[in-house]
Amino acid sequence: MRKYGEFQEHPEATGMRIDLNANFRSRPEVLQATNYIFAQIMGERVGEIDYDDNAALKPAAPYNDKEVPVELAILYTEQEDDEEVSEISEAEELKKSQYEARFMIERIQQLMQEGTTVYDSKTQTERPLQYRDIVILMRSMTWAADVAEEFKLAGIPLYTESSKGYFDALEVMVMLNVLKVVDNPYQDIPLASVLRAPFVGLTENELATIRLADTKAPFYDALKQFIRSEGQNVQSATFEKLQRFMLAFEQWRNLARRGSLADLIWKIYLDTHYYEMVGAMPNGKQRQANLRILHDRALMYEKTAYRGLFRFLRFIDRMRTRGDDLGTAKSIGEKDDVVRLVTIHSSKGLEYPVVFVAGMGRPFNKMDFHQAYLFDQDFGLAVKAIDPENRVMYTSLPFLALKEKKELEMRAEEMRVLYVAMTRAKEKLVLVGSVKNWEKTRERWQEAQSLAIDAPLQEYLRARANHYLDWLGPAVARHIDFKPMATTAYQGIEDASHWAIQAIATARYDTAQMVEETVQQAFETVEDQALFTELTARFHTQYPYQQAVQKHSKTSVSEIKRLENLQRQEEPEYYFSAQPQKVSAIATRPSFLQDIQLTGAEIGTAMHTVMQHVPQQGFDALEAAQLFIEQLVSKQLLTEAEGKAVSATKILTFFASPIGQRFARARQIRREMPFTISRVDEHGDAQIVQGIIDCLFEDAQGEWVLLDYKTDRIQPHFAQEPALSKELLERYGVQLRIYSEAVETILQIKVSAKVLYLFDDGQVVEA
């Protein structure tokens, strides 16, 4: 067994304590690298331990003379870094986890292809490297799901203990969909999932053919109709698949009504052979364990007071709605050939031939310091100062002092965790971290090159570290092995440790780039020129209707107008307020807010309501118009606030205008006309458009007039023709065109005039 210093729990703290001057059975390179790093970063003030020669690790295992340097891989994005921003978005964190996982996958594949060997202590001989010899260490399991997914896609078996991910496992989702369909086949999405599963094996085209058998009925009825029609005619391969499935499906439904839930699940496994199928997939043992645990949980469920498939599915749905999940089943033993992903804490006292330490650039957890108080067993309680009158919280001096002390203790603890991580490897250690801007990071690290050869890193630098790379980077930048990457001349430290340092742009691991490299490698092996030409053409084919995917299949006239206005090249100033939305005239404000001044949009909505109900002949006097508005308020078509906001004078002005006179003498009038049409653009793509036309009337001469009201407030310096007409037609021209097109298409009439009426100043603009 490997002998090391004991890592024991401190009697007064939860952190790790290091028993120094220990003998390790790791390769000398690993221990020398650890000694080199901790001699520079650990001290009495920052780290709580003086790491001198007496504390250094001593190799005690016989290894051959081959040199195996410690690897440091820095992944960086090719974008500018804002050092003022400390918070990292969830999307960026996700990308970092993916990039680091893809680097580790690539490195593991290289180690396998290079024929790497490890020392077997049992046989005392060298043997080929296996997956079970590799472990990935992380400070926490936050990235576990992302790393596991990348390894699954790469076909490398990975085991990680997680409290989530069970319901998201493919095999569990498929089996739950089977149970849902057995309970109620009139669930289209679960039914389609089951039919696409490998034990039925329908293709997308076959599902479409079934849908066409009856396009209006539920999919299950369409399925039965397809089976009946196919059974009477030529029996296709699709019919044979469905016939086998339906025979088993009826048996499952009968068993669900009479038998136990656990028996039903196991019979589905036997009838579909799905348990054996998932066993042949990548990470098959894990998948089979997930299916077994589903059966076991059904057994446990039936031991309670509840019974039945429906209740079990409701129980699962409630768990998922609450956000609860279950950890994937533990399916491996000590001899299973899988890569392991564990936390650094859980690796205490263990040893692994090859160790990857990931997430070296992830910030330390400082959530405890964001509280309003801090507690220390020696100095007591420190709280922030609060100004109750101004309701402001300040950082008090005791809080600041205690925070500095606690942060130093936190960094000392993180140093011990890093020590544990670097001493887990027996033969090979790979450190992986991500930075945003490599150029700036390298310049910052190289500042440590000006220190004396025998001097450790400055205490202020070590005390301000936010992640492990803030310690490792400057320390490694002083090493002689960093010179090929350095941009400055310096006297490197010639230490017994050996480092292989590389900086890799994350663009190398982008999906598109990886696919391109795979395709290029495939092309290089193609000897048939015709096949090469065909493959090239297929991979470079562009979707011919790309414009169609960038717009909604259904939209409104207001949205089309808004998008067109955004695309206008010149927007010198706001000439108008926003057009009011056509919603119900009944106020949406609570009653206690009714006395608040209405917005422009709300006033516009009220004006449209008045024009929707106004008599065709209009009014002879201002009093009549005002009385009409009061009647609308009494009928609750307008609120009191809206009634006060609507101007009776502007309504009289409308009827006095030429367009108002044509309105009053009209043969027929249609107001607030909703419509829905299908428009085909210049690319031949159809889009459903809906809207509401303010007014359409047939005048005394038999001409149809399209009238649209505008309540926008016009700036005084822009109220003169022809600038006003030009701006209005640019802003609302598309709206009038769509309205006219809808009227002429649906009603089969010719629109002779398209008119905008501005209530703000009584002007009429004709398109």
Domain-embedded: residue 530 = no
pLDDT score recorded for residue 11: 30
Number of independent structural domains in the chain? 3
Which among 481, 505, 529 is the end of a domain?
505
- Entry pTM: 0.53
Model pLDDT, residue 179: 92
Place of tokens 């085209």: 205
Cβ contact 426:30 at 8 Å: yes
Contact 346, 303 (CB under 8 A): no
Q: 582 with 707, same domain?
A: yes
Residues 54 and 179 in one domain: no
The three-state secondary structure class of 314 is helix
Residues (pLDDT < 50) of the chain are 1-17, 19-23, 80-87, 90, 569-589, 592-593
Q: How far apart are CA 331 and CA 25, in angstroms?
A: 30
pLDDT digits (tens, 9 = 90+) for 6-42: 333 333 333 444 544 444 567 777 888 888 888 888 8
Q: Tell me: do 143 and 178 sit in the same domain.
A: no
Alpha carbon of 51 to those of 37, 320, 349, 503, 525: distances in Å?
A: 10, 50, 21, 29, 55
Query: Is 517 within the bounds of a domain?
Result: no
- Give the count of beta carbons closer than 10 Å to the beta carbon of residue 43: 20
Q: What are phi and psi of 576, to 5 degrees?
A: -135, 160
Strands (E), 529-666: 554-556
Contact 174, 380 (CB under 8 A): no
Residue corresponding to tokens 């053919």: 209
If phi > 0 it is left, if psi is from -120 to 50 it is alpha, else beta; for residue 598 that is beta
What residues does 76 pair with on adjacent strands?
435, 505
Tell me, yes or no, whether 693 and 567 share the same domain: yes
Q: Which residue has the tokens 């009714």?
A: 594
Residues 235 and 126 in one domain: no
Residue 123 is encoded by which pair of tokens?
Answer: 């046989």
Same domain, 58 and 28: yes
Domain that holds residue 421: 1-81+88-161+332-369+405-505
611: which residues sit within 8 A by CB, 6+ positions away?
651, 654, 671, 694, 695, 709
Considering the domain architecture, whether residues 109 and 251 belong to the same structural domain is answered as no
Whether 106 and 100 have beta carbons less than 8 Å apart is answered as no
| Alpha-carbon gap, residue 67 to 85, rounded angstroms | 41
Domain boundary among 480, 505, 530: 505
**CATH number for the domain including 106?**
3.40.50.300
Residues 725 and 626 in one domain: yes
Does a structural domain hold residue 68?
yes
Q: Please report whether residue 15 resides in a domain.
A: yes
The CA distance from 641 to 605, in Å, is 12
Alpha helices in 159-283 (DSSP H): 170-183, 188-196, 204-213, 219-232, 237-258, 261-272, 274-279
* 495 found inside a domain: yes
Please tell me whether residues 590 and 739 are part of one structural domain.
yes
Q: What is the CATH number of the domain that holds 613?
A: 3.90.320.10
Q: What is the pLDDT of residue 79?
A: 61
Q: Taking a C-beta distance cutoff of 8 angstroms, is the pair 440, 81 a contact?
A: yes
580 and 692 share a domain?
A: yes
Please report whether residue 549 resides in a domain: no
Residue 613, amino acid: H
Tell which of 257, 289, 321 closes a domain: 321
Three-class DSSP category at 70: strand
Long-range contacts of 35-39 (CB under 8 A, 24+ apart): 35/497, 36/475, 36/479, 36/493, 36/495, 36/496, 36/497, 37/418, 37/422, 37/471, 37/472, 37/475, 37/476, 38/415, 38/419, 39/456
551 found inside a domain: no
Task: Tell whether 380 is covered by a domain.
Answer: no
The SS3 call for residue 90 is: helix
Read off the tokens for 365: 């957890």
Tokens linked to 717: 């310096």
For residue 190, give the CATH number of its domain. Answer: 1.10.486.10
Q: How many whole angstroms separate alpha carbon 352 and alpha carbon 124?
A: 16
pLDDT in tens, 438-461: 999 999 999 888 888 888 888 888
Same domain, 347 and 280: no
SS3 track for 94-162 = HHHHHHHHHHHHHHHHHHHHCCCEEEECCCCEEEECCHHHEEEEECCCCCHHHHHHHHHHHCCCEEECC
Based on the fold, state whether residues 309 and 360 are members of the same structural domain.
no
Q: Which residues, 6+ apart, have CB-to-CB distance to 172 below 8 Å?
A: 166, 290, 291, 294
